[in-house]
């Protein structure tokens, strides 16, 4: 697939995502799309560190939760504007990333050891956020005051009581813009020296070092970028749901969501996390609507199916859905543009 | 250009390298030979910063590089290749070489263009878009060489680039290595293939059980009784003489 076809495909996809909600008037379906894009961004954050850098984190909730809590607490406790708080939230997430990265990479932790240390930090933050009641409000979580004044909708970054367009589509286009930024950043990275060096470290760290790459510095850059993007998801989450509590913020749920989409979609590709997220959410909804209904509306059927899909993808599609698409494209064009 | 003074390296109780001294002068091809387990690769790893020596110093172009990290040493112009080739398997040949080129070149396009130029030097210009994981062992050895060259080194440390190649492939690689030297890169190599050592090197060091036992022009070194003993076993020369005496 050459550059031009690829670019055309991207434009087509992004334009579709930009206009599709305008044809949907059911809040449920717009919500569905919002969550799809949300997980696509969350997945891209993880993908930068794991897919491109080969450092498999199992605790990305750490960065998501840090971003979310900073965003919520700065507003509730210090009365900061959400538009100011978000810079602290994103840099706070990146800072926690730098801290965990420094500890792990300084001592050369790789593979499952790195996965375990990220999980351990996420769990530690989960416990801390529950027990430090004077700062985090403990297990009951932090609730943002609801703004009911349409005039203040943009200033408070709350669109529930805004005008007709914003209340319906405000959060969809918020996450869409975040997606554009995160994916643009990833695409830029892929074509830069930093990206090439990051992939070299993933492929073979010793060889990379021998070729003049400061592997520690490159990995630090990757974890900060990855954590920053993930923290942005935390900011979005808090503004949309106006609530955060320890389990949602630092529990394993978000860590798993973050890695599920890129693994199914295709590790180390820009498109992978988005494709994976569309697939997961699409299949999830379909399962709930068909098999779930047939079994009497029992929850959890989609989760069972996800388990099966994950096993199948790992067994037969090591390069994920992106790899599958490329193979199909190659066959359709007879390998001419491959 | 490279001065190695009194390097000692032990792994637990094992003395891998003991008081090793050597020097490599600019524009030459110098080789390091010795039986398996003599400590050659360990010495290379110490010079290139992958291992820290217990004592001794490594001076490169007047700069003390002892104990400095490998990437820094590479940026100074001293680069090594690996005995067990380490390609970036899921990248293409061109992308592999470009990683080396990025050490001096920031732009992606320029680095990829430079990679194509370097590939020509090792006769790989026909395989640019091939995946590195699909290369034959000879191809991987060449790729290892090309990647190192792309970092624009002043001194190239080659760890057994000939190992695992057949006679034809060795024959093809010899002029490539000479060409690299002629382009102004000093070469220091570990080699088991004696044909390569004899025809390439200007000067040879022999390491045995971590101790430097001989040095000199390759022709003279291979005649040295100490060197023969090192390869055939301790006291081999004496036993051979005794057996010859008994049969007479």
- SS3 assignment, position A155: helix
A318 DSSP 8-state letter:
T
- C-beta of residue A98 within 8 angstroms of C-beta of residue A223: yes
Sheet holding B78-80, edge to edge: B78-80, B155-159, B186-190, B29-33, B203-208, B211-216
- The pLDDT tens digits of the residues spanning A274-308 come to 999 999 898 888 887 787 777 776 777 777 888 88
pLDDT score of A193: 94
Whether the pLDDT of residue A338 is over 50: the answer is no
A221 vs A289, residue with greater confidence: A221
Contacts of A322 (CB under 8 A, 6+ apart): A265, A266, A269, A271, A272, A275
Whether the pLDDT of residue A333 is over 90: the answer is no
User: Touching check for A191 and chain B: CB below 8 Å?
Assistant: yes
Whether the pLDDT of residue B75 is over 80: the answer is yes
- Contact state of A203 with B91 under an 8 Å Cβ cutoff: yes
Domain assignment present for residue A23? The answer is: no
Whether the pLDDT of residue A35 is over 60: the answer is yes
- C-beta of residue B205 within 8 angstroms of C-beta of residue B215: yes
3-state secondary structure chain B: CEEEEEEEEEECCEEEEEEEEEEECCCCEEEEECCCCCCHHHHHHHHCCCCCCCEEEEEECCEECCCCCHHHHHHHCEEECCCCCCCCCCCEHHHHHHHHHCCCCCCHHHHHHHHHHHHHHCCCHHHCCCEHHHCCHHHHHHHHHHHHHHCCCCEEEEECCCCCCCHHHHHHHHHHHHHHHHCCCEEEEECCCHHHHHHHCCEEEEEECCEEEEEECHHHHHHCHHHHHHHHCCCHHHHHHHHHHHHC
Domains, chain B, with CATH or none: 2-247 (3.40.50.300)
Q: Which residue of B has its CA nearest to A203?
A: B88
pLDDT score of A163: 79
ipTM of the shown complex: 0.86
- Contact state of A212 with B103 under an 8 Å Cβ cutoff: yes
Q: Residue written as tokens 């790899």?
A: A323
- C-beta of residue A59 within 8 angstroms of C-beta of residue A119: yes
- The pLDDT tens digits of the residues spanning B92-103 come to 999 999 999 999
Band (pLDDT 50/70/90 cuts) for residue A337 is very low
Chain A segment 51-110 residues within 8 A of B by beta carbon are: none
- The pLDDT tens digits of the residues spanning A154-209 come to 888 888 887 788 888 889 999 999 999 999 999 999 999 999 999 999 999 999 99
Domain hosting A245: range is 29-268
- Contact state of A210 with B75 under an 8 Å Cβ cutoff: no
Domain assignment present for residue A128? The answer is: yes
Q: What is the mean pLDDT of chain B?
A: 89
Q: Residue written as tokens 């400061």?
A: A214
pLDDT score of A284: 84
pLDDT score of A26: 84
Band (pLDDT 50/70/90 cuts) for residue A267 is very high
Domain assignment present for residue A307? The answer is: no
User: Touching check for A200 and chain B: CB below 8 Å?
Assistant: yes
Whether the pLDDT of residue A336 is over 70: the answer is no
pLDDT score of B31: 92
Whether the pLDDT of residue B167 is over 50: the answer is yes
The bridge status of strand B55-60 relative to strand B2-11 is antiparallel
Q: Is A194 exposed, middle or buried (0-12, 13-18, 19+ CB in 10 A)?
A: buried
Question: How far does A50 lie from chain B, in Å, by closest CA?
Answer: 15
Q: Which contiguous run of DSSP H or E holds residue A15?
A: helix A3-19
B2 vs B194, residue with greater confidence: B2
Q: What is the DSSP string of A249-309?
A: HHSHHHHHHHHHHHHHH-TT-SSHHHHHHHHHHHHHHHHIIIIIHHTTS-TTHHHHHHHHH
Sheet holding B14-24, edge to edge: B14-24, B2-11, B55-60, B63-64
pLDDT score of B246: 59
pLDDT score of A326: 87
Q: Residue written as tokens 């070092």?
A: A209
A290 vs B241, residue with greater confidence: A290
Neighbours of A38 (CB within 10 A): 22
Q: What is the DSSP string of A168-216?
A: HHHHHHHHHHHHHHHHHHHHHHHTSHHHHHHHHHHH-HHHHHHTT--HH
Q: Residue written as tokens 């990379």?
A: A208
Whether the pLDDT of residue A271 is over 80: the answer is yes
Phi and psi, residue A318, nearest 5°? -60, -25
For residues A160 and A153, give the distance between their C-alpha atoms in angstroms, rounded to a whole number: 8
pLDDT score of B237: 65
Highest mean pLDDT: which of A218-222, B4-8, B133-137, B142-146?
Answer: A218-222
Beta bridge partners, B189, equal B31, B158
Number of domains in chain A: 1
Q: Which residue of B has its CA nearest to A212?
A: B71
Domain assignment present for residue A44? The answer is: yes
- C-beta of residue B237 within 8 angstroms of C-beta of residue B228: yes
Of A196, A203, A212, the CB nearest to B108: A196
Of B79, B87, B105, the CB nearest to A210: B79
Domain assignment present for residue A121? The answer is: yes
Per-residue pLDDT averaged across B111-119, rounded? Answer: 93
Domain assignment present for residue A205? The answer is: yes
Domain assignment present for residue A22? The answer is: no
Phi and psi, residue B178, nearest 5°? -60, -40
pLDDT score of A60: 95
3-state secondary structure A76-137: HHHCCCHHHHHHHHHHHHHHHHHHHHHHHHHCCCCHHHHHHHHHHHHHHHHHHHHHCHHHHC
pLDDT score of B240: 63
Whether the pLDDT of residue A29 is over 50: the answer is yes
- C-beta of residue A225 within 8 angstroms of C-beta of residue A183: no
- Contact state of A210 with B108 under an 8 Å Cβ cutoff: no
Lowest mean pLDDT, pick from A108-112, A256-260, B59-63: A108-112
- SS3 assignment, position A143: strand
User: Touching check for A199 and chain B: CB below 8 Å?
Assistant: yes
């Amino acid at each position: 697939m050459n550059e031009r076809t690829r670019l055309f495909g991207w434009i087509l996809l992004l334009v579709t995502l930009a206009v599709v909600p305008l044809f949907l008037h059911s809040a449920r379906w717009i919500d569905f799309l919002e969550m799809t894009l949300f997980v696509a961004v969350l997945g891209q954050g993880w993908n930068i560190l794991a897919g491109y850098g080969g450092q498999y984190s199992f605790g990305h909730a750490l960065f998501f939760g840090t971003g979310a809590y900073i965003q919520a607490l700065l507003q509730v406790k210090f009365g900061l504007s959400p538009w100011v708080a978000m810079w602290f939230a994103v840099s706070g997430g990146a800072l926690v990333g730098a801290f965990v990265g420094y500890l792990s990479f300084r001592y050369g932790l790789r593979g499952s050891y790195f996965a375990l240390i990220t999980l351990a930090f996420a769990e530690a933050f989960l416990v801390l956020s529950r027990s430090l009641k004077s700062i985090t409000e403990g297990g009951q979580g932090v609730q943002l005051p609801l703004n009911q004044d349409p005039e203040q909708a943009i200033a408070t970054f709350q669109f529930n009581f805004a005008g007709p367009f914003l209340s319906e589509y405000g959060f969809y286009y918020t996450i869409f813009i975040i997606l554009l930024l995160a994916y643009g950043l990833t695409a830029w990275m892929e074509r830069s020296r930093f990206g090439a060096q990051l992939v070299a470290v993933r492929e073979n760290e010793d060889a990379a070092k021998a070729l003049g790459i400061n592997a520690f510095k490159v990995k630090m850059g990757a974890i900060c970028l990855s954590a920053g993007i993930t923290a942005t998801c935390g900011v979005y989450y808090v503004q949309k749901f106006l609530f955060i509590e320890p389990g949602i913020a630092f529990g394993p749920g978000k860590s798993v969501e973050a890695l599920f989409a890129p693994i199914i979609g295709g590790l180390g590709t820009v498109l992978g996390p988005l494709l994976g997220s569309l697939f997961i959410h699409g299949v999830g909804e379909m399962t709930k609507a068909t098999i779930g209904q047939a079994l009497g509306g029992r929850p959890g059927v989609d989760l069972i199916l996800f388990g099966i899909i994950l096993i199948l993808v790992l067994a037969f599609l090591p390069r994920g859905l992106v790899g599958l698409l490329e193979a199909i494209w190659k066959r359709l064009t007879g390998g001419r543009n491959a | 250009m490279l001065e190695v003074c009194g390097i000692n390296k032990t792994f637990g109780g094992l003395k891998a390298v003991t008081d090793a001294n050597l020097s490599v002068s600019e524009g030459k091809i110098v080789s390091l030979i010795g039986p398996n387990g003599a400590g050659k690769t360990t010495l290379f790893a110490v010079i290139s910063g992958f291992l820290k020596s217990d004592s001794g110093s490594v001076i490169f172009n007047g700069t003390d590089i002892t104990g400095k990290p490998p990437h820094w040493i590479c940026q100074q112009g001293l680069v090594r290749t690996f005995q067990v080739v380490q390609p970036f398997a899921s990248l293409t040949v061109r992308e592999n070489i470009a990683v080396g080129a990025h050490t001096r070149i920031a732009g992606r396009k320029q680095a990829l263009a430079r990679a194509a130029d370097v590939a020509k030097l090792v006769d790989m210009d026909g395989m640019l878009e091939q995946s590195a994981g699909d290369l034959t062992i000879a191809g991987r050895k060449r790729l290892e060489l090309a990647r190192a060259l792309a970092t624009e080194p002043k001194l190239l440390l080659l760890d057994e680039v000939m190992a695992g190649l057949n006679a034809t492939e060795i024959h093809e690689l010899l002029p490539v290595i000479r060409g690299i030297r002629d382009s102004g890169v000093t070469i220091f190599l570990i080699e088991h293939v004696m044909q390569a050592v004899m025809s390439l090197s200007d000067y040879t060091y022999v390491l045995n059980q971590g101790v430097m036992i001989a040095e000199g022009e390759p022709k003279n070194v291979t005649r040295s009784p100490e060197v023969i003993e090192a390869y055939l076993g301790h006291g081999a020369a004496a036993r051979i003489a005794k057996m010859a005496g008994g049969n007479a």
